[in-house]
Amino acid sequence: MRTLYSGRFEVELKEAIRRLNDSFPFDRRLWQEDIDGSIAHATMLGETEIIRSEDSLKIVEALKSLKADLASGRAQVPDSEDIHTAIEQMLKASIGEVAGKLHTARSRNDQVATDLRLHVRAAIDHIQSQIKAFQKTITDVAEREIDTVMPGYTHLQRAQPVRLSHHLLAYFWMLERDRERLQDARKRVNQLPLGSGALAGTGFNINRRRVAELLGFEGVCPNSLDAVSDRDFALEFLSSLSIIAVHLSRLGEEIVLWNSREFGFIDLDDSVATGSSMMPQKKNPDVAELARGKAGRVFGHLMALLTTVKGLPLSYNKDMQEDKEGLFDAIDTISLLLPALSETLSTAKFQRERMEQACHGDFSTATDLADALVRQGVPFREAHSIVAKLVRSCLESGRVLEDLTDDELKAINPAVTWPERNALASVEQRDSQGGSSKQRVQEQLAEARKRL
């Protein structure tokens, strides 16, 4: 196989070395970005008269035809050293030697950096739309379950009752920050490296801003060394994907817990669950479990790229070929998980009675009693101690707080009243901004809908 640089060498690469060196098995994914970048570059070369306008037009038309053929399946990218070589070979087969003019004033170094930025930009847009769809699912379910009350937990111990809607909307706001992070990162992705050459720029009078305009970039990378050797845009993107994976993993863990018979808070639809090859009774929350498990995979790709670039001298080094496989896999992983979890949540059936019953007798209204004492002038620390002793007494006697009579309450403080001692009354007291009362949760829902 002839390479783009084979004129320098007398012998072909050894097969093992060729296989190690080739990036085509994974960077073939960038064929569309490579063609788009080449169309913009060829257009600019013609406009600046670096190559003849008729040659520029011939190259651009051939590239557009090639893109259409590849998109429709009428053509396949042939095996090559990398996607850039493959596209150039296909172009040469189509229009002959004039195809060689396309590489004027560019290097594979700035070419691949441009392709990767285009790919990451498209991935950001796609994942943002998936997040938005998942957020809509969350708001739809939260609205439907506005009157469902459940135990709220700290340390996985029942703490205070909350609305299920309030609990689910916590994930809406996590995902909203994820969406904002991606949008912010997009600004730094959307800078054009092309025109930086191998590392030092080019001696041709190119118009980089015109190429940026044609490709939809907001600006050009100001330093050629940085442009070809920078991968912090990929690191930032992987970091954002890792945080998304954290949030999806946490939701997955809760679905696993809620789906267990010990909790019994949720029933998953058959369409999103699997069974056991041995135990006929099993119905497994595999989607939620995979959301947990695949998070580590995304984290690993971030750590791998950090490790790859941490000690590289300027500018381009072959190590940077390792920037793609993990990045592509992280994109694929998150793109699979978001719709899968959205479908899991949208089709789930919440066991409202079971969730509300779980709030009874679990001492999760203890803070409400302490607050009732505070309203009668008892300092909170003293109220906290009084109620803590009551809880201990109830545990020793096999009673719960709801069993306390009015006389027993008045023995603590003659002025204290606690007329409603259920979970719903408890959540309604949490009426501070961002709290779990119905009015506040409805405010959240309205703001969430507005964001969408």
Catalytic residues: 155, 276
Two tokens, residue 92: 């040469």
Query: Rounded to 5 degrees, what are φ and ψ at 350?
Result: -90, 135
Is the bond preceding 315 in cis, omega lying within 30 degrees of 0?
yes
Q: Report the relative pairing of strands 349-350 and 266-267 from DSSP bridges.
A: antiparallel
All residues at 6 or more sequence positions from 56 whose CB lies less than 8 Å from its CB, including other chains:
42, 43, 45, 46, 47
CA distance 277 to 287: 17
Q: How many CB atoms lie within 10 A of CB 265?
A: 22
Three-state DSSP at 351 gives coil
CA distance 245 to 299: 8
User: Which is nearest to 357 in space by CA: 423, 437, 426, 268?
Assistant: 423
Two tokens, residue 166: 């309030």
Where does residue 424 rank: exposed (0-12), middle (13-18), buried (19+ CB within 10 A)? middle
Q: How many CB atoms lie within 10 A of CB 337?
A: 24
Q: Cβ(429)–Cβ(371) under 8 Å?
A: yes
User: Which is nearest to 451 in space by CA: 163, 144, 136?
Assistant: 136
What distances in angstroms separate CA 212 from CA 43, 117, 292, one per listed residue?
Answer: 12, 12, 39
Query: Rounded to 5 degrees, what are φ and ψ at 308?
Result: -65, -45
- Where do runs of H (alpha helix) occur along 145-163? none
Two tokens, residue 237: 């993107």
